[in-house]
Chains A and B, each alone.
Chain A
Amino acid sequence: MAESEEKQPTKTTPPPRRRRNLKIDHDVEVPEPGYAWMPRTLEWGVRVKPGAKGMTMQGLNVGIYGEIPDRWDEQTRMPRGAYPMAGIPPIGFALREKREVWADNAADLYEEAIQRRWIPASDIPWNTLEPLPDDVEAAMCQLCTELSQAANVEFETIGYWLQHMSYGYHEVKLFLASNMFDAGRHHEAFRKRALANGGGLGIESKGEINRMILESKGGWSETSLLLHLLRGLFIQTIYRYGERFAHNPAEKVMFARALQDKARHTAYGLQHLRYAVTHKQDKALVFQQLLNIGERVFARELQEPVVLEPLAVIFGGGIEGAKAGMREVHHMMGDFVRSYLASTDWIGVHRGRAFPKGLSRYLEA
């Protein structure tokens, strides 16, 4: 139990009002206030009204508070639009250019993430899990191990970057906090699934893609390219197929909820990457170079059987159906590759002949 003494009856009902009896000493000497802060504002008279979706972050972007500079030189945590004070030591934010982090949809996606929050413990109908054949359970557990580890990489990656993003672009910081929170929930939900139905965790990932994402330290955009676009779209596709081939309502809800979250992460990623490409001349070339490497790493790791084989077993209803299941895996990979290439086109990075055969072969599926 946290420090608050009361138990709250619902998720969002605040604690009931408590009497706070302060013992006030009336004999103390009161220093004269300076009130120097009283007139210190850059814009006064703002009155934002809640709209159909309530009081949203995007709604606050009015007057000077909605002016989002291309470069944020303030090296402290000063909120955008606050009255600056001289002499505050710098912290040293590495990311101070709008094009390094920005996406126009970040504020709305943040609010959406909050509205669509869910709780693996109680929103997944765990009691609908029924024993599965050993091979199917093993495949499901291996898949969940892989997905849980991928989610772990996602929140570790964002956790590293969050501190480097300046306060001038707080909408992005807020969205990425929600992205981390979602990834934590995925990490949790897939672990729970692996441990809830007579199975257990499988074998860890070899980690080639994980390493590529975690060690991408040159810039947030470059990390987002690998995290949200390349791997993110792949995971999103798995979630979609996971929902379709769920064995029970628990798995269906788990994949459906995770898919909804993942779609938000992709939406931010694509919007940001497109913004980055359109606001920095050589960014598309940088992305091409990175994807030349990244796609090959990705295709190579797909040769490891820990993802596609379990999926084939799940889709085929068991190992004996794995051959048919593998055909479904090829369809899934085809879906992924098509949406991936459409996305790279959309952000302005046309893969063309550089696209590796290890992935293009799925286009025939």
Chain B
Amino acid sequence: MSTQQQSLEAVKDYADDYDLKLDWLDTRGEWGIKATPDARKGLTLEDIQTGSYGEVPDHTDNMTGRLRGAAQREGAYRTGGYTVRTKSDIWLTNAAMLYEEALQRQWSSATDIPWDTIKPLPDDVERAQCQLATFLTEVEFVAADVPGKWVAATSPDYFEPRMFLITQIMDESRHLDVFRKRAFANGGGLMQRPDVTTSGVVGSIDLSKDFTEMSSRLHISGEGAVLTIFRMGELMAYNEAEKYMYRLCGQDESRHVAFGVMHMRYLAETEPERKAEVHAYLDEGERALVAGNQNPAARDTAQSEALAVLLGGGQKHYDEGYKKLLAIRKRQSREYIQRIKSAGFGERFENGRANPELMEYAKA
């Protein structure tokens, strides 16, 4: 008998004397786990994926909200309304790492943006900046509302992707807030909300019944398009505050896009039979990408005109700005294509399935 067991036996004898049940000592998960922190990164989620705690089931019937690796209790209530109980439905290989990165790179819109660098701008430029900020403050929180629902719907056995989605909710809150702050920081205000719907119709992010369907729209096409814009922030920023704003948001957004790409890659590798279905989601996503609901660079919208004003340096230089906008759209399309290829769905660009207008943008 090990020392530990001897000690526990003694404990139980003692418990009997003092009316303690101590039955929790008999029913535990794997014991003897000693995860070691990394000298540089600390104790990460990857470090605790050890022993049975690192074993992620392909399918789970855990409906009680039990932590992965905890001992099961007979008679526990089935409290969880989990619809995501298959690993390939939500998994990716690096969610734990992306989660830790998200925590390390949190920032504050109140204090990390050098707001005092904002100086009065010409009225047309300020209006364009505020128009873009109004658009972004609306659409960015879609990416917080929707993941919240999926966090609640996913089994705790897949907690790493859930944890990442929680960081995304926090990131998107900050994006809502930073663009609202920008709109009020320089003599402007909010402007026209998008005149096309961003939600609530078939094919939109928030109506998806399947996580991959949602992720393909939210992370790949929606956030991917916005990421390109943020990366071009240097071209449309008029002060350090705006540059910081776009750079920091871009940093967050790149994690979200990486999540989507890696999840799709995992699905393509583990359930190739679902690829045809995912291509159907991508068909829809590409239509939205060129039509413009969630893409500020898409054509003929208030925000695309605003972008052209910002890129050109005012209404007088609209033509120049518009040409830059087309170049950004081209970059957007190419980055999208690259992501889809990386995710394992690149055949759509070889077999003619990809949206022809998108392909034209990429070639232009």
Give me the interface of A with B, judged by CB distance under 8 Å.
1-4, 8, 11-12, 14-15, 17-18, 20, 22-26, 28, 30-31, 33-38, 40-50, 53-57, 60, 62-63, 65, 76-79, 81-85, 87-92, 110-111, 114-115, 117, 119-124, 126-127, 133-135, 138, 141-142, 145, 148-149, 152-153, 155-160, 162-163, 167, 170, 173-174, 177-178, 180-181, 183-185, 187-188, 191-192, 194-208, 210-211, 214-215, 305-306, 309-310, 312, 319-320, 322-323
Contacts and interface: CB of A to CB of B under 8 A. Distances in A.
6 contacts: A41-B188, A88-B193, A114-B106, A134-B8, A195-B48, A201-B53
Interface residues of B, number: 152
Given A135-B11, A198-B32, A117 B106 contact: yes
B227 interface: yes
Contacts of A114: 106, 108-110, 174
Contacts of A30: 318-319, 322-323
B185 A17 contact: no
B190 interface: yes
Contacts of B124: 38
A198 B64 CA distance: 26
Q: Is the interface of B mostly helix, strand, loop or mixed?
A: helix
Nearest to B308: A33
A72 B50 CA distance: 49
Given A42-B189, A155-B166, A200-B29, A33 B318 contact: yes
A28 B330 CA distance: 13
Contacts, number: 450
Interface in B80-115: 80-81, 97-98, 100-101, 103-113, 115
A156 B11 CA distance: 36
Contact of A215 (B70, B79, B101): B79
B257 A3 contact: yes
A202 B24 CA distance: 7
Contact of A134 (B4, B80, B97, B148): B4
B149 interface: yes
A200 B33 contact: yes
Contact of A2 (B50, B254, B302): B254
B183 to A, nearest CB: 8
B251 A122 contact: no
Most buried by B among A25, A120, A121, A322: A121
B200 A79 contact: no
B113 A55 contact: yes
B324 A174 contact: no
B305 A121 contact: no
A92 B177 CA distance: 23
